[in-house]
Amino acid sequence: MVDRLMVTKRRGARGRSGLVLVEIVITMAILAFMITVVYGLMGNARTIFFDMSMGTQLRDGLRQAVSRMELELRNTGYDSAHNAQFLVSAGAGASGTDTIRFSVPILCSTTATLLNASGDPANWGAGLTWGCGGSACMDANNSCAVLEYKYIKYAVNSSGQLVRSVLGPDLATVGSAVIGRDISGLSITFNNATRTLSLVVKARKLSGTSRMVTETVSQNVRLMN
């Protein structure tokens, strides 16, 4: 009787040990699953964070660049003889991007005026620096006889930079400055009926998680005349 009782107890202990082992395996499997899920969620959150951060960075850079372009482009247009003071060249930039070359009303001397007696721009040229507001940065020798800074040009180079260049009458570059980076597209179209230039500028860059992030900014610019 005692022997049977001992055997029964040993069998019960072995059964309990087997049950505990199964419980441990199940618990570990559940923990492993939960850890995998948590890490997956953390990875997705990290990806979203880096993508959003990169998108914000690209979008802010594009808006600043397009704002600069708009402030200058809205001052171009047609002279008193109805000649266009701007030229859009489709696909002339890097990677098939568009370019635009244009002139704006300038003060080519300390005695010059922006408008002539008829109310038209007296002289068309270019400011050597963006935001230039006086004759000192609109002409090299304070003389309207020859305009050393004749055109402003916006184009994307092979490094993905949006460049503002100042050209002389011979189209030689006088000066240049980068106003946008990571640019992947620049499209410029002109609507003659509304005298409006439509700009579409795109940027793209790898985020911290090696995902390509792309942003686009569009702007319509109504010409001066």
Torsion region of 92: left, alpha or beta (phi above 0 gives left; psi -120 to 50 gives alpha): alpha
Which tens digits make up the pLDDT trace of 148-199? 999 999 999 999 999 999 999 999 999 999 999 999 999 999 999 999 999 9
pLDDT confidence of residue 185: 97
Q: Span 28-56, mean pLDDT? A: 65
- Is residue 122 helix, strand or coil? coil
CA distance 69 to 179: 9
Strands laid side by side in the 196-206 sheet? 183-191, 196-206, 212-222
- Phi, psi at residue 224, to the nearest 5°? -60, -40
Distances 19 to 12, 95, 183 between C-alpha atoms, Å = 10, 68, 64
34 or 49, greater pLDDT: 34
- Please, which pLDDT band fits residue 25 given cuts at 50, 70 and 90? confident
**pTM for this prediction:** 0.78
Residue 46: its pLDDT value, please? 53
Cβ-contact 122, 115 below 8 angstroms: yes
Q: Is the dihedral of CA 36, 39, 43, 48 positive or negative?
A: positive
- What per-residue confidence (pLDDT) applies to 208? 77
Q: Choose between 66 and 19: higher pLDDT.
A: 66
**Of residues 10 and 171, which shows the higher confidence score?**
171
Instruction: Measure Cα distances from 166 to 44, 101, 133, 207 in Å.
Output: 46, 9, 15, 33
Higher pLDDT, 34 or 56: 56
pLDDT(55) > 90: no
What's the sign of the alpha-carbon dihedral 69, 161, 184, 58?
A: negative
Which range, 29-33, 141-145, 164-168, is most confident?
164-168
pLDDT averaged over every residue in the chain: 86
- Residue 5: which pLDDT band, with cuts at 50, 70 and 90? very low
Mean pLDDT within 77-101: 95
Helix (H, G, I), strand (E, B) or coil at 164: strand
**pLDDT at residue 24 above 50?**
yes
